[in-house]
Amino acid sequence: MSDEQQEITPAELAAAKVADPSIQLVDVREPWEVAIVALPDAIVLPLRSLPDLTDAIDPDLPVVVYCHHGTRSEQGRAYLAANGWPDARNLTGGIDAYARDVDPSLPRY
């Protein structure tokens, strides 16, 4: 998989969710971060717990992993790609970039 296939921009994600609402959003941030802001219908699986919680992710549906800025979610994407989700993608810039570029009504921290 090329780097382009491993990443998805906030604008691409917004368009993709309209075209395919079955895309699973996996939020690998900590619960206190999720309490500040989260994308609708995201599955919250903190990165440290991800290996124990992958049963919450449907292997037959597309997956986009996100965090605050994209570093932890890239680690989560790599873990998922190596463990049954080869097409998992990382949200470039995380929820912060999504709030800045797609939905300015979302709180930023």
CATH of the domain at 61: 3.40.250.10
Across 8-14, average pLDDT:
98
| Domain interval for residue 93 | 3-101
Q: If you average pLDDT over residues 49-76, what whole number do you get?
A: 97
Whether residue 106 lies inside any domain: the answer is no
Assess whether 87 carries a catalytic annotation: no
Burial class (CB in 10 A: 0-12, 13-18, 19+), 12: middle
Predicted TM-score (pTM) of the model is 0.94
pLDDT of residue 1: 45
Measured distance CA(66)–CA(106) in Å, rounded? 15
Is residue 81 a part of any domain in this protein? yes
- Active-site residue, selected from the candidate residues 45, 57, 67, 81: 67
Question: What domain count does the chain have?
Answer: 1
The predicted structure's pLDDT at residue 43? 97
- Report, as an integer, the average pLDDT of 47-66: 96
Assign 5 a pLDDT band (cuts: 50, 70, 90). Answer: confident
